Amino acid sequence: MFILVIFGLLFIFAITMIVVTSRLASKKRSTLQGRGAVSFTSAAHIEGLGIEKFAPCNILQFPDRIQIESGSRKYQIPINNMRVAVLKSEKDIIEKNKSVVGRALIGTVLVPGLGTIVGGMSGIGKKNKSKINYYLILNYLNSQGELDAVTFLDNPLEFTSGNFIQSVNEKITDLTSQETVTL
């Protein structure tokens, strides 16, 4: 009987957390869309900006730019400079880094913080972890015209990274499909 009460309370707590999270996300979505954002997500900064590791960031897509906000700081990447937005699991990054073919594949995506991600996992080998981290990686051309990137630790409770990545990549495809590519 006591176990049923505990499970019941846990169930009620879980439902309450889902409702509260959903309401907060809806309020945040309304606020950001009111500012003109097309899509957004939240994540923790890993590397690529001049801010501390794990700083919370809001990443917004506007029609003409990606804007990263952390506290009072704002960073902008013109949408024309964006090359790709991807979500990679820690496992994918580490496994691809171990093999020559994998390194060639991951080489198509610049991943700042790769050393931190792989280094943090050194010595673990192929042991299973219960929690898998996902990294949001934004590749873009910086103000000097060089390929650059920002890496974020995805927030698994947001459920917005997939939509954000799809929206950004669709915009990149729209922009690049109208251009002539010089090889």
Q: pLDDT exceeding 70 applies to what percent of the chain?
A: 77
Q: Looking at the structure, tell me whether residues 46 and 22 fall in a common domain.
A: no
Same domain, 57 and 88: yes
Same domain assignment for residues 90 and 148:
yes
Domain that holds residue 60: 38-176
Q: Is 141 exposed, middle or buried (0-12, 13-18, 19+ CB in 10 A)?
A: middle
What is the spatial distance between Cα 68 and Cα 59, in angstroms, rounded to a whole number?
A: 5
Confidence of residue 160 (pLDDT cuts 50, 70, 90): confident
Together in a domain, 29 and 102: no
Closest CA to 129 of 116, 138, 120: 120
Q: How many domains does the chain fold into? A: 2
pLDDT digits (tens, 9 = 90+) for 72-116: 999 999 999 999 999 988 888 777 655 544 444 444 566 665 555
Contacts of 128-132 spanning 24+ positions with Cβ under 8 A: 132/89, 132/90, 132/91
As a whole number, mean pLDDT of residues 55-62 equals 95
Q: What is the pLDDT of residues 9-51, one digit of tens each?
A: 999 998 998 888 778 777 776 777 778 999 999 999 999 998 9
Residue partners of 51: CB distance under 8 A and separation at least 6: 45, 57, 70, 73
φ/ψ of residue 72, rounded to 5: -90, -5
Per-residue pLDDT for 153 more than 90? Answer: yes
| Amino acid 103: pLDDT | 43
